[in-house]
Structure formats: structure tokens, C-alpha cells
Structure 1
Amino acid sequence: MIVRIMGEGQVRLSDSHLAELSALDDELSSEMEQGDGPGFRRTLRALLDKVRELGEPLPDDSLEPSELILPAPDATLDEVRALLTDEGLIPG
């Protein structure tokens, strides 16, 4: 799966990591619902760090279709809410 982090680039990520990322996504969604700004910021950073850790960066000149688009690390609560689906940021 190709994942784009807005403002950074793309990484190739194995589907086998989706469950681990989904747990962070659930935590992020809960913090957003509660309006927990510090928790939201911490969990968003953890989610993006995990994607970077588990994924293989694609070259900057590569333009693969992204199957998943994640917000930039400095995204606001409102910006992330605009990206959410019924399943959160991570499907599944």
C-alpha cells in the first residue's frame, strides 16, 4: 500500500501493519471526539512516526497513486476532521 503524508512524501507500507496503525487511529479519533488537543497532537505524531518507521520511503520524484492520505504533522484538529471517514484515517 502507498501512503502519503501530506507535505512530506510517500512511503510503501505492508498491509500487515494496518492493525497496528488502526489502534493509533482509534485513539486519535477518541481524542478528537473529546476535544483533547494535547492527546490529539501526541497521537498524531505517534501515528505518523509509526508509518515512517514501518514504511519504505519512495523517491521524491516518484508519483504513485496513494491508497491512504494522512495529515501533515502540524495539522489542526479541524483539518484532520475534514480528512476523516466513518472508519477514521485508517480503513479497516
Structure 2
Amino acid sequence: MIVRIMGEGQVKLDDSHFTELNKLDDELLAEMESGDEAGFRRTLSALLDAVRRLGSPLPDDALEPSELILPSPEASLEEVREMLTDEGLIPG
């Protein structure tokens, strides 16, 4: 799967990593619902770090369609809330 982190670029991520990423996504959603700003920041950072660590960066000139778009590390709680679906940021 091709994942874009807004403001950073794209990474190719194997589907086998989505179990780990979904746990962080669930945690992020719970923190957003409770208004836990510090927890939200910590978990968003952990989620993006995991995508960077587990994925392989695509070249800047690659024009692959992104199957998943994640917020930038500086995104506000409200900006991330607008990106959510019923399943959080990461489907599954």
C-alpha cells in the first residue's frame, strides 16, 4: 500500500504492518474523543514514526496514487478529526 504523510512524501508499506498501525490508530481515536491533547500528540507521533520505520520511502519524483493519506506531524486535533472515517485514519 502507498501511504502519504502530508508535507513529507510517500512510503510503500506492506499490508502485514497494519495490525500494529491499527492499534495506534485506535489509541489516537480514543484520545481525540476524550480531548487528551498530550496523548493525541504522542500517539500521532508514534503512528507516523511507525509508518516511516516500517515503510520504504518512494522517490520524490514518484507519481504513485496514495491509498492512504495521514496528517502531518504538526496537524491539530481538529484537522485530524476532519480526516477521520468511521474506522479512524487507517481502515481495517
The TM-score with structure 2 as length reference comes to 0.99
Task: Show structure 2 runs of 5+ residues with no match.
Answer: none
Sequence identity, in percent? 76
Superposed structure 1 runs of 4+ greater than 6 Å apart: none
Mapped pair 1:43 → 2:43: yes
Deviation at 1:63, TM superposition (A): 1.3
Quick one: which amino acid aligns to residue 9 of structure 2?
A: G
RMSD over aligned Cα, in angstroms? 0.3
Q: In the alignment, what sits opposite 1:13?
A: 13
Task: Show structure 1 runs of 5+ residues with no match.
Answer: none
Q: Which secondary structure state, in structure 2, belongs to the residue aligned with residue 4 of structure 1?
A: strand
CA offset digits 1:24-61 (Å, max 9, x no partner): 00000000000000000000000000000000000001
Quick one: which amino acid aligns to residue 53 of structure 2?
A: E
Cα distance in 1 for partners of 2:63, 2:26 equals 29
Q: Which secondary structure state, in structure 2, belongs to the residue aligned with residue 73 of structure 1?
A: coil
Q: In the alignment, what sits opposite 2:59?
A: 59
Cα distance in 2 for partners of 1:63, 1:44 equals 26
Mapped pair 1:27 → 2:27: yes
